[in-house]
Amino acid sequence: AEGDRSLAEGLRAYRSGGEGFEGVLGSDFLLSLAPWVERFIGEVFAIEAEVRALRERTRSHEVVMAFKKHFVLRRARRYRGGFPWSFAELDQWLDQEVRRRGWSGEDREWAIARLGEGWLEEEAAHAEAIDRLTQWCGLILQDPQAALAVQGWSSFRLPQRVDPEALVPLKRWEDRPGAPLVAAEGSLRCRDGFHLTDPRMDPRDVQSEVHYCLYCHAHEGDFCAKGFPEKKGVAELGLKVDPLGVILTGCPLEERISEMQVLKRDGWSIAALAMAMVDNPMVPATGHRICNDCMKSCIYQKQDPVNIPQVETRILTDVLNLPWGVEIYALLTRWNPLRRTQYLAQPYNGRKVLVAGMGPAGFTMAHHLLQEGCAVVGIDGLKIEPLPQPWLEQPIRDWSRLQEDLDDRILLGFGGVAEYGITVRWDKNFLKLIYLTLARRPNFQMFGGVRLGGTVTVEDAWALGFDHVCIATGAGLPRMVPMGESLARGMRQASDFLMALQLTGAGKRSSLANLQVRLPAVVIGGGLTAVDTATEVQAYYVRQVEKVLARYERMAARSGEEALRAGLCAEDTEILDEFLSHGRAVRAERARAAAEHEAPNFVPLIRSWGGVTLAYRKGMRQSPAYTRNHEELIKAMEEGLYYREGLEPLRAELDRYGHVAQMVFRQMHETEGRWLASDQDWSMPARAVFIAAGTVPNTLYEREYPGTFQLDGDHFQTHVAHPRGPLQAVQVAEHCKAPESGPFTSYTDHGGHRISFIGDTHPVFHGSVVKAIASAKAAYPQVMRSLQGLADGGGDLAAFQQRLRHLLRARVLRIDRGNPAVVELWVEAPLAARNFRPGQFFRLQTYESHSAERAGTRLQIPVLTVSGAGVEGDAVRLLVLQWGTGPRLVGRLEPGDP
């Protein structure tokens, strides 16, 4: 801050922990510093003109915001006079006024706002025009017909009262008791495939949200960040609980939301991003369609809150869309002058940490430890695709280079459940950005297909030279629902379906993966996993039947229908015919829609085949999806789902082939706010049943190596570590803002090594991406303190990294195709070979990015579960039966293939 000496001195004091930066003073200081960061970045990247243009574009909406305030909210809403002109006359007059000034009518909202604001500059001289414009606005507010003229205008979008009991607009499908609930009239959306389902707000709407904000940091009332207190200024009373029973914690990261919005309001987009990144360097993994804890705690409790996630995502994308936007984000993760700590990445400090799990918790922990100077090795049990080498070595000018259509994007496998659970409602290209910024760090290594407890044990970690292990392995097993025939064909865990859909790429046209789903489908559960499963089943079903039809026609043309069907049993033939007829119906709908130049609408077809029903044991209003993130329910219902309340699953009933045919439920009834079982059963046809009853934290390691950790119920016992003192068990904190979350497990050894656990594995941070990120933010300072007590680290980092590459990478060593029924594969994987146990299973899969595409089909080995058949030196022997397409591709592998 050369240009401002006192600010430069302030910055020095800020960094050295000086006083005077608490509360409002700190906010004011950062707000005066942030524009300097923007100017500096503009200069460094030589993009001053583009940054200025973005600022002007952002500020160009100012006039519309002023018009909304002065005319719509103040004058028109309070107008009590008469309406001597008709709406059409006023509308025509406005058009003439716009034309008279030579403005194009393209952005009519802007032009009319400009007119009005111009007149207000000389109010007395333009009293009549102001009056007429007020009437025009007034008629729009009163008359739905007139309102059509301003459809989609930010200036006329007014906050609505919030009724916690009616957050999701619904109606009964048919006018009879027992009919399912569906989305309200006129709100169905046509979805086709796996493209991003939500285009987000446009820049003007976002500015409107920004202007709606009251910038409460100025009086320390920014509850969106800090949490909504029971009583302001009396911290002992704790946080408020909303009418749906949710503790209003605000943003788990305490992101400086109010300050960020002030900067965005004034056009400082890079500065606003830097402000958000003070507390949330992983900002691409938060925001729109991911989190809403901030909105829930906004000061507006009785009317719509400020849509902060939309604002945050807009700020990020505005910066990414600048030339070198990717590099600006990457720079701000390593260097951010607005941060009091970690404003600059530290040089290597000799400490090495193994982070198990590369979901949001794990990648955030990796980031913070790298900033502190540690070397970090991230492992994940699942495959992680490599990034193109040039991206790692050369700066990227255009964000568009990283962006892919989600419908045919290569699933990188980085990001845990954010990657393979959360659906295409959220732009997963953002995960690639985080992956890229981490992968470029020289002190970071990452290995996919390496499981803590399988390939690497805790003892291996110490023997390899690690100083700390952080467990970020997410939620473990799904909760089971006790019911009859739960293992029958057609019954699945919802999370298995989502994972198979994404990890095998089954939803892609080019994929060979086999994932059979039939309709009608029932999804049992009330959380986001159930909601996501239901929407994806619908989208996938359409793709599946189209794929079957197209492949069937191609194969039949080659070998004849008779030959094709010869090997099929009666059940397979039935299913094939069902899929072919549905495939033809989908094709006909596509043709119809194309002829009428509109998007195909598959909802009526899906409904005619029985549809997809969400079945929950209580009312929707009690479901976790409703209480925590009702927007997701609104959007999901818009895709045409059915919702049935009060259904407790009892059993599945099977057809003559042993496949599920219908579900039987116990009916529940609401009495005085409680859902109680009745003595009535209720059945519905179901060819696919998905169970989404929640998950429990991952404590699998303790099951595999009993005695390693103390458990507390279904999770690791939470511990705190006192400086140089022993670990101390603590109770599970009430919420993620509690001062002591207990980030350590009970583990400690003679060398003083400790093991932390974060994210979904941790009972306090379980359940959301932003909480997972917050858990790493809360835990890393304690991890750093615990490292101080250890014997000197150090050693040659390059040699350490080289050794890990050798031990943890898997590649084909030898392949024997001598027996036509079985391929014998030797895979070099030294650590896996060392820890091999007879009967152990391995996942065999190739990288999608390394697999060739032939005639629209990707020749990738999908996930195969193969049992290990012994070891020889550093190699594991796998025997793959040549049964099915995937296993046959194994025979095409060559020595050296990863």
Ligand X SMILES: Cc1cc2nc3c(=O)[nH]c(=O)nc-3n(C[C@H](O)[C@H](O)[C@H](O)COP(=O)(O)OP(=O)(O)OC[C@H]3O[C@@H](n4cnc5c(N)ncnc54)[C@H](O)[C@@H]3O)c2cc1C
Looking at residue 194, its amino acid is F
Give CA angle at 771 (346, 472), nearest 5°. Answer: 65
* Interacting partner of 223 out of ligand X, ligand SF4, none (Cβ under 5 to 8 A depending on kind): ligand SF4
Segment contacting ligand SF4 (CB under 6 A): 28-36, 210-218, 594-602, 695-703? Answer: 210-218
The single-letter code of the amino acid at 347 is P
Least distance to ligand X, CB of residue 30, Å:
26
What's CA 414's distance to the chain center, in Å? 12
Query: Tokens at residue 214, please?
Result: 């009251």
* 439-458 binders of ligand SF4 (CB under 6 A): none
One residue of 112, 224, 251, 778 binding ligand SF4 per CB under 6 A: 224
Least gap, CB of 628 to ligand X (angstroms): 9
Among 54, 298, 439, 452, binds ligand SF4 (CB under 6 A): 298
Q: Which does 362 bind (CB under 5 to 8 A by kind): ligand X, ligand SF4, none?
A: ligand X
Least separation in angstroms between CB 275 and ligand SF4: 13
Residue closer to ligand X by CB (options 331, 711) is 711
> Least Å distance between CB 471 and ligand X?
8
CA distance 69 to 640: 37
Residue 109 and residue 150 in contact, taking contact as beta carbons nearer than 8 Å: yes
Q: Which is nearer to ligand X, 55 or 428 (CB)?
A: 428
Helix, strand, or coil here: 114? helix
Task: Say if CB 492 and CB 690 are below 8 A apart.
Answer: yes
Residue whose CB is less far from ligand X, 47 or 470:
470
Q: Measured at the alpha carbon of residue 652, what is the angle toward residues 651 and 655, in degrees to the nearest 5?
A: 150
Report the partner that residue 889 touches, choosing among ligand X, ligand SF4, none (CB closer than 5 to 8 A by kind): none
Window contacting ligand SF4 (CB under 6 A); options: 62-70, 214-222, 264-272, 834-842 = 214-222
Size of the site for ligand SF4 (CB under 6 A): 13
Shorter beta-carbon distance to ligand SF4: residue 223 or 447: 223
Residue in 21, 40, 173, 215 binding ligand SF4, rule: CB under 6 A: 215
Distance (Å, whole) CA 239 – CA 250: 9
Closest listed residue to residue 119, CA positions, set 129, 105, 110, 134: 129
Considering CB distances under 5 to 8 angstroms, the limit depending on partner class, which of ligand X, ligand SF4, none binds residue 213?
Answer: ligand SF4
Give the shortest CB-307-to-ligand X separation in angstroms. 15
How many Å apart are CA 585 and CA 600, to the nearest integer?
Answer: 11
**Nearest-CA neighbor of 301 among 209, 376, 228?**
228
Phi, psi of 658 (to 5 degrees): 85, 15
Smaller CB separation from ligand X, 367 or 607: 367
Between 452 and 823, CB nearer to ligand X? 452
Between residues 226 and 607, which has the closer beta carbon with respect to ligand SF4? 226
DSSP state, 874?
Answer: T
Q: Which is nearer to ligand SF4, 222 or 632 (CB)?
A: 222
What DSSP assignment string belongs to 804-868? HHHHH--EEEEEEEEETTEEEEEEE-HHHHHT--TT-EEEE---GGGS-EETTEE-----EEEEE
Q: Please report how many Cα atoms fall inside a 13 Å half-sphere around the Cα of residue 344, on the Cβ side.
A: 4
- 299-318 residues in contact with ligand SF4 (CB under 6 A) are 299, 306, 308
Closest CB to ligand X among 109 and 631?
A: 631
Match 């046959």 to its residue by tokens.
Answer: 888
Residue 291 touches which member of ligand X, ligand SF4, none, C-beta under 5-8 Å by kind: ligand X
Residue whose CB is less far from ligand X, 489 or 762: 762
Min dist CB 250 to ligand SF4, Å, is 8
Contact status: 223 vs ligand SF4 (CB under 6 A): yes
**What does R_g of the chain's alpha carbons equal in angstroms?**
29
Q: Which partner, ligand X, ligand SF4, none, binds residue 224 by CB below 5 to 8 Å per kind?
A: ligand SF4
Least CB distance to ligand SF4 at residue 2 (A): 32
Determine, following the binding rule CB under 6 A, whether residue 33 of this chain makes contact with ligand SF4.
no
Please state the φ and ψ torsions of residue 214, each to the nearest 5 degrees: -100, 5
Q: Give, rounded to a whole angstrom, the gap between the first and last alpha carbons of the chain.
A: 49
Question: 234 CB contacts (<8 Å, ≥6 apart)?
Answer: none
Which three-class secondary structure state does DSSP give residue 617? Answer: coil
Residue 253 binding result from ligand SF4, ligand X, none, given CB thresholds of 5 to 8 Å by partner type: none
Stretch that binds ligand SF4, among 188-196, 217-225, 376-384, 548-556 (CB under 6 A): 217-225
Which residues have a Cβ under 8 Å from the Cβ of 835 and sit 6 or more positions away?
Answer: 454, 455, 456, 457, 460
Residue 215: contacted member of ligand X, ligand SF4, none (CB under 5 to 8 Å, by partner type) = ligand SF4
Residue 194 to residue 544: CA distance in whole angstroms = 12
Query: Does the footprint of ligand SF4 cover residue 140 (CB under 6 A)?
Result: no
Torsion angles phi and psi, residue 711, rounded to 5? -105, 155
* Residue closer to ligand SF4, measured from CB, 164 or 476: 164
* Spatial distance between the Cα atoms of 91 and 111, rounded to a whole number of angstroms: 13
Query: Are 259 and 273 a contacting pair, CB within 8 Å?
Result: no
Residue 770 binding: pick among ligand SF4, ligand X, none (C-beta 5-8 Å cut-off by kind): ligand X
Given the complex with ligand X, which of 229 and 525 has the nearer CB atom?
A: 525
Which of 168, 183, 213, 539 lies at the binding interface for ligand SF4 (CB under 6 A)? Answer: 213
Beta strand ranges found along 424-552 (DSSP E): 444-448, 468-471, 475-478, 491-493, 521-524
**ω before 887 within 30° of 0 (cis)?**
no
* 14-22, 53-61, 140-148, 298-306 -> range binding ligand SF4 (CB under 6 A): 298-306
Binding flag, residue 216, ligand SF4 (CB under 6 A): yes
* Nearest distance in Å: CB 768, ligand SF4: 19
Please compute, for residue 364, the number of CA atoms within 13 A of its CA located in the half-sphere on the CB side: 32
Q: Is residue 273 close enough to count as binding ligand SF4 by CB under 6 A? A: no
- Using left for φ > 0, alpha for ψ between -120 and 50, and beta otherwise, residue 40 falls in alpha
Q: Tell which positions 226-265 bind ligand SF4, by CB under 6 A.
A: 257-258
Measured CA angle at 154 (ends 151, 155), to 5 deg: 95
CB of 417 to ligand X, least distance (A): 4
| Binding status of residue 222 toward ligand SF4 by CB under 6 A | yes
**Cα separation of 584 and 546, whole Å?**
8
205 Cβ neighbours under 8 A, 6+ residues apart:
154, 157, 310
210 lies in the site for ligand SF4, by CB under 6 A = no
Contacting range for ligand SF4; rule: CB under 6 A; set: 156-164, 213-221, 480-488, 886-894: 213-221
- Interacting residues toward ligand X by CB under 6 A: 290-291, 356-362, 379-382, 416-418, 421-422, 451-453, 472-475, 495, 498, 528-529, 532, 698, 759-760, 767-770, 772
Which residues sit at the interface with ligand SF4, rule CB under 6 A? 213-216, 222-224, 257-258, 298-299, 306, 308
